[in-house]
Amino acid sequence: MSPLSLPDSSFLSAASDELKRMLSAQAVEVTLAEGEVLFEQGTRGESLYAILEGQLEFSILAADGRKLSLDMMGPGAIFGEITLFDPGPRTATVTALARCRLLRVRHDDMLGNIRRNPDLAEDLIRLAGQRMRWMGRLLNEQVFLPLPTRLARKLLHLTEVAGGDGAALALSQAELAEFVGATREAVSKTLSAWRKDGVIAAGRGGLTIRDRRALLALADPDAI
């Protein structure tokens, strides 16, 4: 039994205490060195993971063979939860950007406990439904929100993962464009306007947030 508990966040934030205890009891610690791949796109997945320390990059291969970065996650993030219900091909490659400590819960271990404690199945089904609605909202945002709103939200998320507003994001404009599903030219134009307004700063160390309140306002869809 792992002496560590799964984070009370993300997918598990609305879980019952009993379900959290059951999943934490099945968790096994996994460590990754910087640059090590946890799993690759297309390989079979059967485990949920929670990040205790470090940063992970999520990426896919485009049709032309280019690597496209989708996201970065840090401590407290939980991913791979779909495979708890339905093991299948991973949709992205996950790589450690720094030394990482993770907790892993396997599908078979969880299923064995559900069979012994069937009342927990109702809790898991409810969590799955909530996660599906969350994924639907993300898709709607990607389709319907304008680029400045999407970019502001992504910058807030990435700087939080990197260590806060003072942390520099060493990402190119092309990489940021991949994150938000836009062209590099459109992202460059938006960032240039934000630099002039003092919302962000950009230098050799990377991009940093100078006015978080302004960026939060830009990330608010109701302010459109």
pLDDT digit string (tens) for 134-155?
777 767 776 678 999 999 998 9
How many other CB atoms are there within 10 angstroms of residue 220's CB atom? 12
Q: State the Cα–Cα distance between residues 211 and 196, nearest whole angstrom.
A: 12
pLDDT of residue 89: 92
User: Which pLDDT band, with edges at 50, 70 and 90, does 214 fall under?
Assistant: very high
- Of the given ranges (60-64, 77-81, 99-103, 199-203), which has the lowest mean pLDDT? 60-64
- Of the given ranges (91-95, 144-148, 162-166), which has the lowest mean pLDDT? 162-166
- Pairwise pLDDT comparison (13 vs 86), residue with the higher score: 86
pLDDT at residue 223 is higher than 70: no
pLDDT at residue 47 is higher than 90: yes
Judged on CB neighbours under 10 Å (0-12, 13-18, 19+), 95 is buried
- Pairwise pLDDT comparison (147 vs 1), residue with the higher score: 147
**Taking phi first (over 0 means left), then psi (-120 to 50 degrees means alpha), and beta for anything else, what does residue 141 get?**
alpha
User: Which pLDDT band, with edges at 50, 70 and 90, does 95 fall under?
Assistant: very high
